[in-house]
Structure 1
Amino acid sequence: MASRQKRKAAEVVEELPASQNVIAQFKSVDGESTGPPLNLPVNATPDQLEMLLNQLMNTSDDPQPYSFYVEETEITKNLWSDMKTKSTEESITIVYQPQAVFKVRAVTRCSSTLSGHTEAILSVAFSPDGTQLATGSGDTTVRIWDLNTETPQHTLKGHKGWVLYIAWAPDGKTLASGSMDNTVRLWDPKTGKALGDGLKGHTKWITCLAWEPYHLNSKANRLASSSKDHTVRVWDTSMRRMIMSISQHTAAVTCVKWGGEGLIYTASQDKTIKVWNSSGVLVKTLQGHGHWVNSLALSTDFVLRTGPYDHTGKRFKTEEEGQKLALERYQAAKGKQPERLVSGSDDFTMFFWEPEANKKPLARLTGHQKLVNHVSFSPDGRLIASASFDNSVKLWDGQSGKFIASLRGHVGPVYQICWSSDSRMLISSSKDTTLKIWDLKTKKIKLDLPGHLDEVFSVDWSPGGDKVASGGKDRQLKVWRH
């Protein structure tokens, strides 16, 4: 059997054009060798390498897409032009990484502009399965929009102050909103009715919300809220009571994340990030930033957000089945490594952490000229994108934190970024009234999406990849499609 594989691989190698050769060994990201060392022509292209690797792995009937790296440089043209050390004497290692099998198409046009909000839209979010869309606004309301007809569906009234943040429960059955009126409210997105009264306890406004991941709790009834009052509160949403209050920060808490291992991460204007276990006990304090910490991202964010739902739109029958699916997706996304965390700050830098393993940062990511407003891991965890008030978006390696590229094109501060679910594209929203879609292969603008009449505060790409929604100061919600 092995000899037939070798023979097939040799045939593919022979088909490549004659030129100088180099000895190359394919390795997976985890460092496992695939196949024997091969004598490859130096002008082998990524497509030829992909064909060869699929032969070696015996998947040529159902070929998988891969990207290839030599010494951490991606092979985009051919081995010779992308290799750092030009030598055919030494053998090289080609590290391959599988890419998403499905492809998301870039959204190209605005399919509808929806008005209704009477103040700026501050938060836009698709539900975990991508079938529902919600917006939170300075007009104190939350709105749910019908994505099939692209019309307003429900207006959720109850807050007395600006709605600063909205978050879908991982099962998509509850929507939470946090407001400047110091309360968290829960809504039934299907009927648009409030689930009881506001959750009271915070003494200042709510800055961020995070639900417990579905694979840890399929009842989806635990929610963490962070506030300017220096505390984080964890609520039982079915009993509508506070389970615990976490209060060791000495300034406003700007961001909260609930990780896949049950840890809660909080970032604060006291320059620290704190890690808590699910009983509210402080596990670690991550220090290093010289100014407010604005944004946190986990390498598993995408699977935690989508839980049991993947791009195929498959439905699960029971809660147990859903939880099992969510756990499988989480474990596949996490791989053999600990969950990684990246933090962006007003000190113009980002830090890269593995909080489960170590309280020292793995890397300090420098290069932005102004504050870092938003950080985000790609769904496959391989890249980090950061948005800054220096008008740029920067890309970093999701394993090492090394700088990859600057994406320039915006002429105003960039507020938010969001990845397509196949990790091949990135969309950014800016003060300059535009959205831009970036192609990760070329590191260039793929599409410019003008149309908003003022600053675009918030953008979200649906988990299935077919729609983008954006909102901002012009009070209009725009839905974009192919």
Structure 2
Amino acid sequence: MGEAPSWQHMWGAKVKMPCDMEDDILEDVIKNVTTRLSNIDTEEWEKKGLAVCEDLKAHMDLTWEPHWVVCIGRNFGTYVTHVTRNFIFFYFNEKACATTTTMAAAAAEPSKKKMRMSTADAAADIKEEEVEVDVQQEHDNNDEDDEDTDDETPMSIIAQFQSEEVRGAAAIAIGDNEDGANVGPQLDIPLSSNVKQMEELVNTLLDQTGKNKVPYSLFIGETEITKSLQQTVEELKVSTETALTITFQPLAMFRVRPVTRCSDTLQGHSDAILHVSFSPDGKRLASGGGDATVRFWDTNTAMPKHTGRGHKHHVLCTAWSPDGERFASADRNGEIRLWDPITGKQIGQPLKGHKQWVNSLTWEPMHRNSTCERFASASKDSMIKVWNARTGRQVASLAGHTDSVECIKWGGDDLLYSASRDRTIKVWAMEGDQVGKLVRTLSGHGHRINTLALNVDYVCRTGPFSHTNKKFASREEMQKAALERYQQVRKGQPERLVSGSDDFTLFFWEPAENKKPIERLTGHQQPVNHLCFSPDGRYFASASFDKKVKIWNGQTGKFIATLTGHVGAVYQVCWSSDSRLIVSASKDSTVKVWELAEPKNAKVTLSGHEDEVYALDWSPNGDMVASGSKDRKIKIWKH
């Protein structure tokens, strides 16, 4: 195979020309350009290139501009790209400009290399026709250069890189760049380019070097390029005869390593563990279960800190406040208790109001209220109640569902979303005197709804805290950081919600704006019992009793992959904080680690639990995963 192609800075000219130029005139243009530009030393290009182009303007009725580019390959001679929208790009490298005679000969001698030339102006649809171009490429002595190439198989493609950060919410159409921000010129890049090479190119185009380099994910339309450009182009059956838009989006600047071993086993619970969750700052782990206790653990030492006693029945759900200063737990009797995680003491009296057990708890995001006082509870009694944690008083009671409310999420835009066994999702206002007002009802599922996931849920739950462990001087500073994190994930678009049901389907919604779903997602063969968005909101995972986890595009709802390997129902899924890895907990007593880039097989299977694994969470800094099991043990997994 030889060495992999390397990235090179190339230089040359961008030539605007009539769309109906004859072949012989085109050859004259090539000869003229190669002869004149080859006289310029590479280091002097920036200084002299403009002058040469101005001189060319005086001799020919064409428009010339100096041009820089980064290409893949080694030792190009004259390199003429595809003509696109009446432009030709001429590129030369250091070896090519060593002698003028070589360059001139390259323009005069015939070659079998073909070039695609546009025959329509910029306002019309592009129609392509083949034009023979006299180009002789210089070769090094590598055996790879001596291989015969098939004229019918394109080795490269014209591509336009485009930032996805400013694009609209609509799915990105292939070749459509009206809503995006183009980065650099259109480039002719080899189809064999892999992700790392194109990532390097994007960084070069953005003038990001050294420590300023940023990792990117790249997409053609809605499909992520995971290996080579050619593989994705072939999968999508994309035409190589027109310019291709490749969009890119920055990934997290840090990388979480997959957990591979059990570092600690935490014992103390006397019944099944139903919930484990790390505090927003990652310093503590909380657990709750069938023994009616809440326990707090130190994540640095893996030692127990406090045991909260008071519940009279199973602790069914728990939730940290976004500032990490309060912890709420609710039980099968319908009682809610608040705890101080520092001391392990109960705050105030039990909150009573529900007539049956509580299924779900959610806190108001910190960017909406820096005091982190309000939270909501959802019960089997079909009611949702809003509480003030400081006063212990009930703020509002939301009636409307006709059956058990299974899951609630407090969004970042003063809306609360609730899912019920009555097969509906309801959207409630949570601001000012509108608290508890029903905004709309979403219908579509044919059976009870078990779970919800919100694309901004991770940043709403963790507030200002991230992997950086930044210290804050005030609550105002914390609130500002929480708002910045929220806006970074939301990107000015409506919040997105996905629901999972016993009807085996998922529905994808923009609940703040439309009561009709964006998409109905099928594929699971059993009830969907848990959903989770990646921290960056770009993907979501669904867990089902069919023993599978499925990954979906968080912007469009498009199916991405099925994670197969568990031999029992999958109870819960969780993402790493860099949105690259997924862990799943199953009835088969294992925890599996999956990598989004290579989802075919589990990266790691973590064995050690002696019974079903019900609970799962990944620490905010990415260092550890906690799993809770029916075997009454919590296991801490690290790299």
TM-score normalised to structure 2 length: 0.73
2:196 is the alignment partner of 1:47 = yes
What is the alpha-carbon distance in structure 2 between the residues aligned to residue 87 and residue 396 of structure 1? Answer: 26
For 1:185, the equivalent position in structure 2 comes to 337
Q: Which moved more, 1:268-277 or 1:49-58?
A: 49-58
- TM-aligned CA deviation for residue 151 of structure 1: 1.5
SS of residue in 1 equivalent to 2:231: helix
2:583 is the alignment partner of 1:427 = yes
2:609 is the alignment partner of 1:452 = yes
What is the alpha-carbon distance in structure 2 between the residues aligned to residue 7 and residue 222 of structure 1? Answer: 60
Structural RMSD (CA)? 1.7
Letter in 2 for 1:471: G
- TM-aligned CA deviation for residue 427 of structure 1: 0.1
Q: Any conservation in 2 of the 1:9–1:56 contact (CA below 8 Å)?
A: no
What is the alpha-carbon distance in structure 1 between the residues aligned to residue 66 and residue 558 of structure 2? Answer: 39
For 2:387, the equivalent position in structure 1 comes to 235
What is the alpha-carbon distance in structure 2 between the residues aligned to residue 39 and residue 55 of structure 1? Answer: 15
What is the alpha-carbon distance in structure 2 between the residues aligned to residue 40 and residue 149 of structure 1? Answer: 51
1:471 corresponds to which of 598, 617, 628: 628
For 2:460, the equivalent position in structure 1 comes to 304
Q: Any conservation in 1 of the 2:547–2:566 contact (CA below 8 Å)?
A: yes
What is the alpha-carbon distance in structure 2 between the residues aligned to residue 435 and residue 238 of structure 1? Answer: 38
For 2:11, the equivalent position in structure 1 comes to none
What is the alpha-carbon distance in structure 2 between the residues aligned to residue 317 and residue 359 of structure 1? Answer: 42
2:172 is the alignment partner of 1:25 = no
What is the alpha-carbon distance in structure 2 between the residues aligned to residue 248 and residue 86 of structure 1? Answer: 49
What is the alpha-carbon distance in structure 2 between the residues aligned to residue 15 and residue 58 of structure 1? Answer: 22
1:203 corresponds to which of 355, 363, 378: 355
Point out the structure with max Rg over C-alpha: 2
For 1:63, the equivalent position in structure 2 comes to 213
- TM-aligned CA deviation for residue 472 of structure 1: 1.5
- TM-aligned CA deviation for residue 34 of structure 1: 1.6
- TM-aligned CA deviation for residue 287 of structure 1: 0.5
- TM-aligned CA deviation for residue 76 of structure 1: 2.4
What is the alpha-carbon distance in structure 1 between the residues aligned to residue 238 and residue 634 of structure 2? Answer: 52
Q: Any conservation in 1 of the 2:273–2:629 contact (CA below 8 Å)?
A: yes
What is the alpha-carbon distance in structure 1 between the residues aligned to residue 215 and residue 287 of structure 2? Answer: 36
For 1:481, the equivalent position in structure 2 comes to 638
What is the alpha-carbon distance in structure 1 between the residues aligned to residue 184 and residue 346 of structure 2? Answer: 59
SS of residue in 2 equivalent to 1:95: strand
2:294 corresponds to which of 129, 132, 142: 142
Letter in 2 for 1:85: K
What is the alpha-carbon distance in structure 1 between the residues aligned to residue 67 and residue 257 of structure 2? Answer: 34
For 1:293, the equivalent position in structure 2 comes to 449
SS of residue in 2 equivalent to 1:234: strand
For 1:10, the equivalent position in structure 2 comes to 69
Please, which runs of 5 or more residues in structure 2 have no aligned partner? 1-13, 15-44, 47-64, 77-144, 146-153, 168-179
What is the alpha-carbon distance in structure 1 between the residues aligned to residue 181 and residue 443 of structure 2? Answer: 35
For 2:518, the equivalent position in structure 1 comes to 362
CA-to-partner distance for each residue in 1:85-138, whole Å, 9 max, x for gaps? 254312211111211110001111111111111110001110001111000110
What is the alpha-carbon distance in structure 1 between the residues aligned to residue 521 and residue 317 of structure 2? Answer: 27
Q: Which moved more, 1:72-81 or 1:6-15?
A: 6-15
CA-to-partner distance for each residue in 1:279-337, whole Å, 9 max, x for gaps? 11000101001111111111111111110011110111101010011011111111021
2:224 is the alignment partner of 1:74 = yes
For 1:251, the equivalent position in structure 2 comes to 403
Letter in 1 for 2:560: I
What is the alpha-carbon distance in structure 1 between the residues aligned to residue 360 and residue 290 of structure 2? Answer: 15
- TM-aligned CA deviation for residue 77 of structure 1: 2.5
SS of residue in 1 equivalent to 2:316: strand
For 1:329, the equivalent position in structure 2 comes to 485
What is the alpha-carbon distance in structure 1 between the residues aligned to residue 263 and residue 240 of structure 2? Answer: 53
What is the alpha-carbon distance in structure 2 between the residues aligned to residue 9 and residue 386 of structure 1? Answer: 46
SS of residue in 1 equivalent to 2:329: strand
What is the alpha-carbon distance in structure 2 between the residues aligned to residue 429 and residue 7 of structure 1? Answer: 57
What is the alpha-carbon distance in structure 2 between the residues aligned to residue 450 and residue 167 of structure 1? Answer: 27
- TM-aligned CA deviation for residue 20 of structure 1: 2.2
What is the alpha-carbon distance in structure 2 between the residues aligned to residue 16 and residue 253 of structure 1? Answer: 66
CA 1:227/1:9 → structure 2, altered by over 3 Å: closer, same or farther? farther
Q: After the TM superposition, which residues 433-444 of structure 1 pair with which residues of structure 2 at under 5 Å, given as runs?
A: 433-443=589-599, 444=601
CA 1:21/1:232 → structure 2, altered by over 3 Å: closer, same or farther? same
Bigger helix share: 2
CA 1:186/1:8 → structure 2, altered by over 3 Å: closer, same or farther? farther
What is the alpha-carbon distance in structure 2 between the residues aligned to residue 465 and residue 148 of structure 1? Answer: 13
CA 1:118/1:33 → structure 2, altered by over 3 Å: closer, same or farther? same
- TM-aligned CA deviation for residue 9 of structure 1: 5.5
What is the alpha-carbon distance in structure 2 between the residues aligned to residue 221 and residue 468 of structure 1? Answer: 28
CA 1:246/1:101 → structure 2, altered by over 3 Å: closer, same or farther? same
SS of residue in 2 equivalent to 1:118: coil
2:320 is the alignment partner of 1:261 = no
Letter in 2 for 1:433: S
Letter in 2 for 1:260: G
For 1:194, the equivalent position in structure 2 comes to 346
Q: Any conservation in 1 of the 2:382–2:403 contact (CA below 8 Å)?
A: yes
Q: Which moved more, 1:279-288 or 1:86-95?
A: 86-95
| Larger RCO (alpha carbons 8 Å, 6+ apart) | 1
Q: Any conservation in 2 of the 1:26–1:95 contact (CA below 8 Å)?
A: yes
Please, which runs of 5 or more residues in structure 1 have no aligned partner? none
Q: After the TM superposition, which residues 346-361 of structure 1 pair with which residues of structure 2 at under 5 Å, given as runs?
A: 346-361=502-517
Q: Any conservation in 2 of the 1:80–1:86 contact (CA below 8 Å)?
A: no
Q: Which moved more, 1:83-92 or 1:110-119?
A: 83-92
Letter in 2 for 1:93: T
Q: Any conservation in 1 of the 2:71–2:189 contact (CA below 8 Å)?
A: no
Matched residues, number: 480
For 2:137, the equivalent position in structure 1 comes to none
CA 1:244/1:11 → structure 2, altered by over 3 Å: closer, same or farther? closer
Letter in 1 for 2:539: L
- TM-aligned CA deviation for residue 75 of structure 1: 1.9
For 2:248, the equivalent position in structure 1 comes to 96
CA-to-partner distance for each residue in 1:35-82, whole Å, 9 max, x for gaps? 221111221211111111111112124111111112333222322222
What is the alpha-carbon distance in structure 2 between the residues aligned to residue 321 and residue 431 of structure 1? Answer: 43
Letter in 2 for 1:286: L
What is the alpha-carbon distance in structure 1 between the residues aligned to residue 155 and residue 625 of structure 2? Answer: 47
